[in-house]
Amino acid sequence: MKRYPSQGFPKTVLRPEIVARHEDLVKDLSGTVEKYAQIGRRDESMFDWTLRVLENCSLSTVEPLYMGSLAVVKTEFALWEVLLDDLIDNADMRNFKLFDELFKIPFEAEHIDRSKLNADELKYLDITKEIWDNSLMGEIRRYPKYERYKKSFDFDVMQLLNALRYSKFVNEDENVANVIENDAYVPHGMQIMIQMDLDLMCSKGFNDSELAMLRQLNYISQKMARIGNVLGTYPRELIESDMSSEAVLKFIKQHEGGIEFKLNKMLKRETRYPKFEEKIIKQWQDYYQLLKEIANEIKSIDTVRFLKEREYIEKAYEMKTDTW
């Protein structure tokens, strides 16, 4: 599996005992990435980058035995979402018919209609379903508290699917795209809530009476992660005119008449716009202040470390040079 340059990450290491096992975790991940490579289009280094970030991020209540597995499974979850997302957002791969069948994999697999698909589409479907059934659920069902947190996990997976369905909706008809709905649906694609569920399945000592507060904490974190993602991907999304991207909606509303923007898009030249970035960085900072207020109410996890992880994620996005 192709690696992402190690110098492209923050120097601070939050989980040295897991980061030290990175090459072993890459081996655990490589089989899934090899399956992805048969049908996907993104550079494999994207998943090494994702794994390195997630090695440093988990609830303090997670038992050490499961931390490596969680980093790999969370990365595989991101990979699985990419397979669906590219069928909606990427103009060269767009295939709504195939997406509609992949959408059924988690909860309605028995209703998948294979008769609609050609040989290449069937291969895409089969590999995507295999990753869900084996790489993801095959491991997740073994987590010690899977049954306890299954309902919240299923609910949050449904929110991820709804985020993807919203992306399809606005890419089918760009006239419906708007910032308010985008902000309600799309951040679920960052999977922070799902990652919380997985951590809880492998946790010891978490007080369930604080679950509502923990969900609030992670919901805000999800919005912050989305801002970091926007900073890393908006130059590509502007070129692709991906209408599920709030960056495209907000940016075009303000700048689409500008000569610089039109020229860059015509030349397919990825370009950064400092004034636009300043606005969304300010939004991240506002969310961070809210996060600190919520964190003060939670006692059964190390919220100081949790806040450091949010800073680490944002720094990783800032340092990332690829827009994938």
Q: For residue range 242-293, what is the model confidence (pLDDT) as tens digits?
A: 778 877 787 666 655 555 666 666 666 777 778 788 888 999 999 999 999 9
98 residue type, one letter = L
What single DSSP character describes residue 137?
A: H
Q: Give the pLDDT confidence of 132-185 residue by residue, as tens digits.
A: 999 999 999 999 999 999 999 999 999 999 999 999 999 899 889 888 999 999
10 residue type, one letter = P
271 residue type, one letter = T
Dist. CA 149–CA 78, nearest whole Å: 20
On whether the CB atoms of residues 88 and 167 are closer than 8 A, the answer is yes
At the topology level, CATH places domain 6-319 in: Farnesyl Diphosphate Synthase (1.10.600)
Domain ranges within the chain, ordered by starting residue: 6-319
Q: Give the pLDDT confidence of 205-214 residue by residue, as tens digits.
A: 999 999 999 9
Mean pLDDT to the nearest integer, 289-314: 96
Mean pLDDT to the nearest integer, 192-221: 98
Output 217 or 253, whichever has higher pLDDT. Answer: 217
Q: Which residues contact 297 (CB under 8 A, 6 or more apart)?
A: 210, 213
On whether the CB atoms of residues 192 and 281 are closer than 8 A, the answer is no
3-state DSSP call for residue 179? helix
Q: Is the pTM of this model over 0.85?
A: yes
**Tokens 């390195």 sit at which residue?**
52
Which run of H or of E encompasses 110? none
Q: How far is CA 22 from the centre of its chain?
A: 20
Written as six digits, the tokens of 202 are: 């492998």
Dist. CA 241–CA 174, nearest whole Å: 10
Dist. CA 54–CA 309, nearest whole Å: 10
On whether the CB atoms of residues 41 and 86 are closer than 8 A, the answer is yes
On whether the CB atoms of residues 61 and 206 are closer than 8 A, the answer is yes
Dist. CA 316–CA 92, nearest whole Å: 28
The percent of residues above 70 in pLDDT, for the chain, comes to 94
Written as six digits, the tokens of 143 are: 């987590």
Predicted pLDDT of residue 262:
63
What is the residue-averaged pLDDT of the chain? 92
Q: What beta strand segments (E) does the chain contain? A: none
Predicted pLDDT of residue 91:
75
The pLDDT confidence band at residue 68, using thresholds 50, 70 and 90, is very high
**Tokens 């970035």 sit at which residue?**
277
Predicted pLDDT of residue 195:
98
Dist. CA 220–CA 284, nearest whole Å: 10
Dist. CA 93–CA 78, nearest whole Å: 18
Written as six digits, the tokens of 299 are: 């006692």
On whether the CB atoms of residues 196 and 218 are closer than 8 A, the answer is yes
**Tokens 């709504």 sit at which residue?**
96
Category of 185 on φ-ψ map: left (φ > 0), alpha (ψ -120 to 50) or beta? alpha
In 3D space, the residue among 229, 153, 149, 154 whose CA is nearest the CA of residue 189 turns out to be 229
Could you tell me the CA-to-CA distances from 18 to 22, 25, 50, 53 in Å, in that order? Answer: 7, 9, 14, 11
Residue 259 backbone dihedrals phi, psi, to 5 degrees: -65, -40
Written as six digits, the tokens of 114 are: 């294979």
Written as six digits, the tokens of 161 are: 């699917």
Predicted pLDDT of residue 267:
66
In 3D space, the residue among 314, 312, 315 whose CA is nearest the CA of residue 57 turns out to be 312
